[in-house]
Homo-oligomer: A and B are copies of this chain.
Amino acid sequence: MIKISDITEMRRLALSWRQKGLKTVLVPTMGFFHQGHLSLMDMARSLGQKVVVSLFVNPAQFGPAEDLDKYPRDIERDVRLAEQHGVDCIFIPDASDIYNAQHQTWIEVTEVSRGLCGASRPGHFRGVATVVAKLFNIVQPDMAVFGEKDFQQLQVIRTMVRDLDIPVEIKSHPTVREPDGLAMSSRNSYLSPEERKTAVCLFRAIQLARKMIADGERNRETVVKRLYELIHSYKDAKVDYIFLGDPETLAENSHISPPALLALAVYVNRTRLIDNCIISAD
């Protein structure tokens, strides 16, 4: 596996692959790999001839009061894991190379960025869209793989790719979960053992919503109210948002029309966790 930090070097390597007609798949990450990331790499491996994993904790997608500085990092372990999963190149650029001192260009995906995490984290998706476009321009992959855990992020990227005619095919991988249902996330490492027990409330909320909708409930407010009650019955859990609406447009309606997206963000003390699922009619 090749390890690259220089943008020009990355561009050159990817270009040499392309000139040989080798299909390249990019997996953009912020590192601190868990099984979710590794599944994305395995998927990428099966999709193309060359796999690039980018590892960049993108300052532009963190708000001023957010966890940029304490975001968990373990590059040595990440490099080892990527190599074990057959990655051809790990790209670890410096923030000062990604954002030059005069950087002033931003990509805004206006509508699908508005609610959910976009409302709680102003500027977050602008930072995501911009850095993903940059990575696409540097690596010029044929495909890129993203996890479905960050569902809104996936929609933002799909929308950007469609609207800007970006020649990259976007693939997604289902959320990977712990045995008790907690969605894998680098931020789970922030949780104390007690908080870890509370964290299951997100998955329990998903299960409850699934059951209510399978049983015929179609009133959004009724379902959301029950989910609030469930989550707030857990110690130190506080809802940031509960979204139940259209998976494409991310618009909400008082009537639930499956397939519907349930997406939620919950604070367990100071740690913010997200999860989501698509709920069908039966």
Give chain A's interface residues, CB within 8 Å of chain B.
7, 11, 19, 21, 100, 102-112, 129-130, 133-134, 137-138, 140, 159-160, 162-167
Contact = CB atoms under 8 A, between A and B. Distances in A.
A163 B107 contact: no
24 contacts: A11-B165, A11-B167, A19-B21, A102-B163, A104-B109, A104-B110, A104-B163, A105-B107, A105-B109, A105-B110, A105-B163, A105-B164, A106-B107, A106-B110, A107-B107, A107-B164, A130-B164, A133-B164, A134-B164, A134-B165, A137-B164, A137-B165, A137-B167, A140-B167
A241 to B, nearest CB: 21
Contacts of A167: 11, 137, 140
A100 B163 contact: yes
Given A137-B164, A166-B137, A105 B108 contact: yes
A11 B100 CA distance: 31
Copies per assembly: 2
Output the residue of A100, A159, A165 with the most chain B CB within 10 A: A165
Contacts of A164: 105, 107, 130, 133-134, 137
Contact of A159 (B105, B130, B134, B138): B105
Contacts of A19: 21
Contacts of A104: 109-112, 159, 163
A246 to B, nearest CB: 12
Nearest to A134: B165
A58 to B, nearest CB: 14
Nearest to A99: B163
Contact of A105 (B21, B105, B138, B160): B160
A246 B108 CA distance: 28
Contacts of A165: 7, 11, 134, 137-138
A107 to B, nearest CB: 5
B108 A106 contact: yes
